[in-house]
């Protein structure tokens, strides 16, 4: 077999392995997405219950995500944190405000979205609710370490993900629930922040992606076969193998 043909065949086989792995990964992602969709639909049918207290925190896991909860307490607006966000309203920030619950622990409330013009609390004074409040919303899991290529920088107060532990450390919140709560769509006074923007409908195109990767894998395998097939060798003047 000529060297060029051998290199081409090896390349095709490497692509076959790569495309096959990507197809399998997409099928795994599809299974995960279907499970997530089923879990969210199941959770949303439940009536809101009390936010998990410290006795339950060790057992908090993925199965609690999107659980409807309610909590009562008082906001500490002086220790709110702005986390970069991109929503249907454009780019801006999530307003993460600590709430001191009636039970004495802290929980971060994602009160909703603000655009850059309303990022400063002074630009939305009506929305800084005072006194005892009752918050209904969805329990969400912490988003540690920031986004890809954009880690949270606590020292500079620049946040790219809702990392509960890191925000708690930066704002000296203790004891702090290991989750946060996305507030429901009830409008805040003055219209800011805009709550109720939790994504609860998930696009699931993984099967199409998987079929595409598998088709490319088959194309790679076919190309390798054609490169070494007896009929091709015969056309090139070589005798077929007996």
Closest CA to 111 of 128, 91, 131: 128
Q: What is the mean pLDDT of residues 139-156?
A: 89
Burial 69-99 (b: 16+ CB within 10 A, else e): bebebebebebbbbbbbeeeeeebbbbbbbb
Q: DSSP letter string over 176-234? A: EEEEEEEE-SPPPGGG-SB-----------HHHHHHHHHHHHHHHHHHHHHHH-HHHHH
Closest CA to 106 of 67, 143, 68, 80: 80
Q: Which residue has the higher pLDDT, 194 or 62?
A: 194
Indicate if the pLDDT at residue 47 is higher than 70. Answer: yes
How far apart CA 180 and CA 173 sit, in angstroms, is 13
Which of 31-35, 64-68, 115-119, 207-211 has the weakest average pLDDT? 31-35
How far apart CA 203 and CA 184 sit, in angstroms, is 22
Average pLDDT, the chain: 88
Q: In the prediction, which pLDDT does 152 show?
A: 94
Closest CA to 52 of 129, 132, 112, 141: 141
Task: Judge whether 221 and 16 are in contact, CB under 8 Å.
Answer: yes
Indicate if the pLDDT at residue 147 is higher than 90. Answer: no
Q: What pLDDT, in 10s, does the model give residues 77-116?
A: 999 999 999 998 999 999 999 999 999 999 999 999 999 9
Give the CA radius of gyration of the chain. 26
Q: In the prediction, which pLDDT does 241 show?
A: 43
Task: Judge whether 151 and 166 are in contact, CB under 8 Å.
Answer: no
Q: What is the mean pLDDT of residues 209-238?
A: 78
Tell me which range, 21-25, 65-69, 168-172, 221-225, is most confidently predicted by mean pLDDT: 168-172
Q: In the prediction, which pLDDT does 224 show?
A: 86
Q: Which residue has the higher pLDDT, 78 or 237?
A: 78
Which of 35-49, 51-65, 201-215, 224-238 has the weakest average pLDDT? 224-238
How far apart CA 130 and CA 12 sit, in angstroms, is 65
Q: What is the mean pLDDT of residues 35-54?
A: 84
Indicate if the pLDDT at residue 201 is higher than 80. Answer: no
User: pLDDT tier at 159 (50, 70, 90 boundaries)?
Assistant: very high
- The torsion region of residue 4 among left (phi > 0), alpha (psi -120 to 50) and beta comes to alpha
Q: In the prediction, which pLDDT does 202 show?
A: 65
Q: What pLDDT, in 10s, does the model give residues 27-41?
A: 988 888 787 778 877
Q: In the prediction, which pLDDT does 164 show?
A: 96
Q: What is the mean pLDDT of residues 146-163?
A: 90
User: pLDDT tier at 215 (50, 70, 90 boundaries)?
Assistant: very high
Indicate if the pLDDT at residue 242 is higher than 50. Answer: no
* Greatest Cα pair distance in the chain: 91
Tokens of 67: 């659980």
User: pLDDT tier at 181 (50, 70, 90 boundaries)?
Assistant: very high
Tokens 């990767």 found at: 213
């Amino acid at each position: 077999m000529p060297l060029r043909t051998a290199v081409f065949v090896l390349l095709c086989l490497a692509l076959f392995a790569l495309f096959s792995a990507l197809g399998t990964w997409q099928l795994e992602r599809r299974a995960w997405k279907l499970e997530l969709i089923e879990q969210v639909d199941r959770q949303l049918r439940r009536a809101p219950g009390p936010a998990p207290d410290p006795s339950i925190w060790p057992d908090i896991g993925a199965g609690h995500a999107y659980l409807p909860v309610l909590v009562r307490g008082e906001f500490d607006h002086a220790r709110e944190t702005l986390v970069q966000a991109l929503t249907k309203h454009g780019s801006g920030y999530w307003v993460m405000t600590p709430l001191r619950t009636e039970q004495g622990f802290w929980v971060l409330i994602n009160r909703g979205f603000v655009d850059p013009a309303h990022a400063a609390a002074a630009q939305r004074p009506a929305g800084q609710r005072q006194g005892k409040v009752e918050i209904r919303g969805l329990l969400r899991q912490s988003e540690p370490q920031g986004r890809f290529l954009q880690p949270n920088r606590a020292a500079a107060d620049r946040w790219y993900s809702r990392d509960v532990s890191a925000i708690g450390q930066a704002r000296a919140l203790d004891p702090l629930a290991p989750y946060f709560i996305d507030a429901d769509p009830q409008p805040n006074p003055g219209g800011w922040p805009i709550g109720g923007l939790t994504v609860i409908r998930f696009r699931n195109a993984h099967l199409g992606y998987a079929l595409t990767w598998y088709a490319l894998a088959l194309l790679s395998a076919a190309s390798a076969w054609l490169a070494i097939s007896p009929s091709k060798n015969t056309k090139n003047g070589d005798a077929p193998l007996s």
